[in-house]
Amino acid sequence: MSRLVLITFVLFSQVAYSSTSVCHGTTSNGSLENGVELPSDGNNFVSYSTVARLAGRTYVHSTVKSIIINSYKNLEETMPNTVYKYAETGYESGGKFRPHKTHQNGLSVDFMTPVKNEKGQSDHLPTNPFNKFGYNIEFDSSGKYEEFTIDYDALAAHIVELDKESKKQGVGLWRVIFDPELQPHLFKTKHSEYLKTNIQFSKKRSWVRHDEHYHVDFEVPCR
Chain residues binding Zn ion by CB under 5 A are 110, 215
Q: Which CB, 154 or 177, lies closer to Zn ion?
A: 177
Q: Which CB, 96 or 168, lies closer to Zn ion?
A: 96
Select from 22, 87, 81, 41 the least CA-distant residue to 221: 22
Question: CA-CA distance, 27 to 1, in Å (whole number)?
Answer: 43
Q: Which CB, 191 or 215, lies closer to Zn ion?
A: 215
Q: How far is the CB of 105 from Zn ion (least distance, A)?
A: 13
Beta bridge partners of 172: 219
Q: Which CB, 14 or 100, lies closer to Zn ion?
A: 100
Q: How far is the CB of 174 from Zn ion (least distance, A)?
A: 13
The set of residues, in sequence order, having a beta carbon less than 8 Å from that of 160 and lying 6+ positions away, is: 191, 194, 195, 198
Q: How far is the CB of 2 from Zn ion (least distance, A)?
A: 50
Q: Angle, to 10 degrees, between the axis of helix 152-168 and the axis of helix 62-78? A: 130
Select from 89, 86, 125, 123 the least CA-distant residue to 106: 89
Q: How far is the CB of 158 from Zn ion (least distance, A)?
A: 15
Question: CA-CA distance, 151 to 81, in Å (whole number)?
Answer: 12
Which residue's CB comes closest to Zn ion?
215
Provide the pairing of β-strand 84-86 with 45-47.
Answer: parallel
Q: How far is the CB of 155 from Zn ion (least distance, A)?
A: 15
Q: Which CB, 110 or 211, lies closer to Zn ion?
A: 110
Question: CA-CA distance, 182 to 188, in Å (whole number)?
Answer: 11
